[in-house]
Amino acid sequence: MSRNHYRFRAAWRLAAPPARVFAVLGRAERYPEWWPQVRRLARTGEDSGTLRIRSVLPYELSVTLRTSRRDPAAGILEIGMSGDMDGWARWTVRHHGTGTIAVFEQDVEVNRRLLRVLAVPGRPLFIVNHKLMMRSGLRGLRALLERGLDEE
């Protein structure tokens, strides 16, 4: 595995039905409304868009997204990515207890020059940066679902 290759996984437990969570996660252009680190997501086509993200560390990543799978029956949303990162990301949404578990998986190769140069010494910081971003996203999604703002 390359020193610029990353695999991430996060499981979010949510007190909402799977169909509702799937619907919110399927409206990616609205992520900036509830996920502060998603700075901008603009559609460029029916199944494509551009994304700008920035977490705690002082760098912003820009990627082009293309939907590769959208399967409500299986609870799967998957995208391919290119740009500052090449790879894929996937949400798998399932019933869990009295609510939902939304599992996020990502497999990427970082292309941004600065991150490649700092790959060895910076890797632990990049991983923590991603965890902080995911924690913030979970808080934002929980708040959105609790307030019913997703139903507007």
Query: Which CATH number fits the domain that encloses residue 117?
Result: 3.30.530.20
Contact of 65 with 48, CB cutoff 8 Å: yes
Q: Report the pLDDT averaged over residues 13-20.
A: 97
Tens digit of pLDDT for each residue in 93-152?
Answer: 999 999 999 999 999 999 999 889 988 999 999 999 999 999 999 999 999 999 986 765
The total number of structural domains in the chain stands at 1
Entry pTM: 0.93
Residue 75's closest CA among 54, 103, 52?
A: 103
Alpha-carbon separation of residue 13 from 69, 95, 131 (angstroms):
22, 10, 15
Model pLDDT, residue 92: 98
Cα 90 from Cα 105, distance rounded (Å): 5
Any bridge partners for residue 98, and if so which? none
Percent of the chain with pLDDT over 70: 98
pLDDT value of residue 114: 87
What is the domain extent for residue 114?
Answer: 5-151
What is the C-alpha separation between 97 and 66, in angstroms, rounded?
32
Nearest to 100 by CA among 25, 20, 10, 13: 13
Which tokens go with 65? 């997204």
The span from the CA of 106 to the CA of 59, in Å, is 19
Give pLDDT, residue 78.
98
